[in-house]
Chain A
Amino acid sequence: MTEKEYNGILVFAEQRNGEIHHVSYELLNKAEELAAELNCPIFAALLGPTGIEAEELIYRGAHEVYYLEDEAFGQPDELFYKENLVDLIEELKPEIILLGATNFGRSLAPRVAAALDTGLTADCTDLRVDEAGKLLQIRPAFSENILAQIETVTYPQMATVRYKEFVERDRDATLEGEIIKKSPTKAQEQSIEVLELLEQQKVNIAEAEVVVAGGKGIKKAADFELLQKLATKLGGVIGASRDIIDAGYLSKEYQIGYSGYRVAPKLYIACGISGAPQHVAGIKEADKIIAINTDPSAPIFEIADYGIIGDLYQVIPKLIEEVQEDETRDN
């Protein structure tokens, strides 16, 4: 097939338990920007159980929402999703397909790409259109040390895009569009079964307002209690740099950075974190960064709004004390 046959941008609107994931609105924002250059429509594919407010996707810039309703989409069954998404893509023939680079997106997208036998670029941090109207996909590689610009030579051009990399499309309830409800074209396969939801992850670092994170300067796992105390006091959560996860002090759901979660809190407190580029990339969206480190030459101070050159084991207990006093005064 030639590129002429392909038109439009399809955003896969990931939903969980009937709630549309915010990465979908970020993708729609980017899609709008790309669509303006390509002069093409924006489709959203919503595969989910009944009762989702699909018009939200219209308010965020989608022109047409294809809502495939089925209770089975309430489970993360990539095979079932793939079969139905592929059918939809073959019907719509979009030139660009964007999915959020969530675990689910990164598990689903390769299957879809392989089924369509087209190229896929993983975990993009930026997207552009070149003069020829081709999609330029920018993504980190080499354990997040480099940025590569990638183009796809086949159609459709597919990419997964990092969560929290773009801002969300503003909600505009005056926008109009069409919601096309459909039933699945394919049934669930028997080779795979989602048996049960065991537990939600305890922390949701990506959406936290305050993050108190520890790095190499933390001497042992138990010392995160100290950080937790400060975080609790500030209504936030704890996080960590890759060293800590590698050392086994905390599990991966706490990892912040290129290979972990990207965070965008109002306040980020980096405790004993040196500030390697990989880590910094995960916190650049923070409103305010406070760094505590004994090493005055630590790169973290270059990107911090406020820095304390000192031992976190001395500074944090005092900070906890001070914050508490203030609260009592305020109340």
Chain B
Amino acid sequence: MKIIVLIKQVPEMERVKFDTERGVINRKSAGVEINPFDLNALEAALQIKEELGAEVIALSMGPTRAEGVIKEAIARGADDGVLLTDRKFSGADTRATSYLLASAIEEIGNVDLVIAGEMTVDGDTAQVGPQTAEYLGLAHVAYVTKLKKIREDYLTVVSSVWDANYLKKLKYPGLITVTKDLNTPRLPLLKRKLEVREAEVEKWGIADFKTDLDHQDVGLKGSCTRVRKIEVPSLIEREGKIWTGDELTEAITEVAQICQEKDRMGE
């Protein structure tokens, strides 16, 4: 069994600063890390591997320095990884990204299952998983919160859609996107981490694809959307009445009143 886990290097969101006045994102002080949701995807793959035995390959697209996330995935238990890196890949929207990932998955070949995180914390689109599935012509299940049955030829999973939980059966080959609720990702072994730091990460540029990859299909050229402008929203203000601690009794009485007014409105 061969499982591909899609991962992405993202800025550490806690340390990214957003300038409301100038509408600028300042990533200077932020480091980079593996997209948190992707750790849940990797953990799912490793659990399937433990159950059935499988080869787990981490796949990412990004600049050369994004090899760190591939190493991170291997340290946590992935068997191998590929970083898709080429200047022609840059500026990709979800369409170009998904198209490239799908091409790489086809290139790797004989893949039974693709697992992606629900979304990335910098893009927030949640599109790359399902789009990749479509370009691969595979069925997919999104928002997976539980793996129920892990079998040689199919999975049953719980998917959170329609404000409900549905049990779905996915025959391989297929793709799932997973939520944070699915599992708690394991930490890497120090030993493995130290080994991987020395290792070379396999990198593919556009020329490394055996099947022809059209320049028009990747990066900015392969993107169907363009960002025109970015703004950083500011807080909305309301005229407010504030009570301090020593006016608590008065505050409680008035607030209780307000609560009940609402109550009556509702009836």
Contact = CB atoms under 8 A, between A and B. Distances in A.
Establish whether A and B are touching in the complex (CB under 8 Å). yes
A304 interface: yes
A119 B226 CA distance: 9
A111 B133 contact: yes
Given A111-B140, A147-B233, A192-B169, A154 B164 contact: no
B107 to A, nearest CB: 18
Interface in A183-225: 189-201, 204, 209-210
B252 interface: yes
B127 interface: yes
Contact of B224 (A153, A252, A290): A153
Contacts of A152: 224-225
Contacts of B168: 192-195
A79 B140 CA distance: 8
Nearest to A266: B262
Contacts of A275: 235
B118 to A, nearest CB: 9
B32 interface: no
Contacts of A113: 95, 127, 131, 224
B232 A147 contact: yes
Interface string B109-146: 00000000000011111111111011100111111000
Dominant SS among interface residues on chain A: mixed
B252 A146 contact: no
Dominant SS among interface residues on chain B: mixed
A145 B230 CA distance: 11
A122 B179 contact: no
A319 B255 contact: yes
Contacts of B139: 79, 189, 191-192
Contacts of A118: 95, 224
A149 B242 CA distance: 37
Contacts of A259: 124
B229 interface: yes
Given A103-B143, A123-B126, A210-B259, 9 more contacts: A109-B130, A119-B223, A140-B233, A142-B13, A144-B124, A193-B168, A195-B169, A303-B237, A326-B256
15 contacts: A79-B139, A107-B142, A114-B95, A115-B134, A123-B125, A145-B16, A146-B233, A148-B229, A153-B223, A204-B163, A251-B181, A301-B242, A302-B237, A307-B240, A310-B248
Interface of A: 16, 75-76, 78-79, 82, 102-104, 106-111, 113-115, 117-123, 136-137, 139-154, 189-201, 204, 209-210, 234-235, 251-252, 259, 266-267, 269, 275, 277, 280-281, 284, 287-290, 296, 299, 301-310, 314-315, 318-319, 322-323, 326-327, 330
Interface of B: 13, 16, 18, 23, 25, 93-95, 98, 121-131, 133-135, 138-143, 156, 158-171, 174, 177, 179-181, 223-245, 248, 251-260, 262-263, 265-266
